[in-house]
Amino acid sequence: MKRITVFCGSSPGHDPAFMEMAYQLGQQLAASKIGLVYGGAKVGLMGAVADGALSKQGKVIGVLPTFLRTKEIAHEGLTELILVESMHERKTKMHELSDGIIALPGGYGTLEEYFEMLTWGQLGLHKKPVALLNINGYYDGLLSLADTMVTSGLLKPVNRDMMLVSRTVEDLLQQMHSYNPPVVGKWLTPEKT
């Protein structure tokens, strides 16, 4: 993998481990010669992951909608800052620039970005690994919900398995390197309609 997109909060959250792990993820990506693509802000977890990568001379590309440039406070020390017009354009550009996706803790925006990338993979629109760095169990409830979706018959087990998850950066990156995407079949056949 040449570059990984990281989705995460523009706030630091209450658990200090969120900022620490975001910074460590940035450092590990740089040490592994993997470029970072992220939302372009200098605040919160977004700023921590970028600063971690920059501290190890990593390449960091930020993608920021123009209307958020002052709200999320654009990071001025990046390798490259790409300004776009909309949130959808931001997500599309981040996807185009990367070979894999990691979500750190975040709010609605992080979940929306994560699930769209996961859905695109489920539909066979890409074959990239999509992962969660589950810091201090932040995503345990989400993982339980995904299991409920499977037991309820609304999510195939093979698609649940697309959710790569770990509590450590090293293990998560290893899972991403060895990821094999599922073979996507047709949703409906004439016999099922």
Total Cβ atoms within 10 A of residue 11: 14
Spatial distance between the Cα atoms of 180 and 178, rounded to a whole number of angstroms: 7
- The model's pTM: 0.93
- Report in angstroms the alpha-carbon separations of 61 from 78, 108, 153, 169: 6, 22, 39, 20
Tell me, what's the pLDDT at 186?
52
- Residue 116 resides in a domain: yes
Picking from 80, 85, 82, the residue whose alpha carbon sits closest to that of residue 66 is 85
> Could you give the CA distance from residue 38 to residue 61 in angstroms, rounded to a whole number?
7
Q: Confirm whether 182 is domain-assigned.
A: no
In a domain, 21, yes or no: yes
3-class secondary-structure state, position 69: helix
Angle at 10 between CA 21 and CA 15, to 5 degrees: 45
Q: What's the pLDDT score for residue 192?
A: 53
Report the distance separating Cα 150 and Cα 157, nearest Å. 6
Q: What is the CATH number of the domain that holds 132?
A: 3.40.50.450
In the chain, the number of structural domains is 1
The predicted structure's pLDDT at residue 97: 98
Q: What share of the chain is helix, strand, coil (3-state, %, to 5)?
A: 50, 15, 35
Domain-embedded: residue 189: no
Q: Note down the domain range covering 87.
A: 3-177
Non-local (6+) Cβ contacts of 149 within 8 A are: 155, 160
Is residue 185 in a domain?
Answer: no
Q: Any bridge partners for residue 164, and if so which?
A: 131
Q: Classify residue 20: in a domain, yes or no.
A: yes
pLDDT in the model for residue 193: 45
Domain assignment present for residue 183? The answer is: no
As averages over each run of 10 residues, the pLDDT of the chain (193 residues) reads 97 98 98 97 96 98 87 87 94 97 97 96 95 98 98 95 97 97 67 52
Examine residue 69 and state whether it is found in any structural domain, yes or no: yes
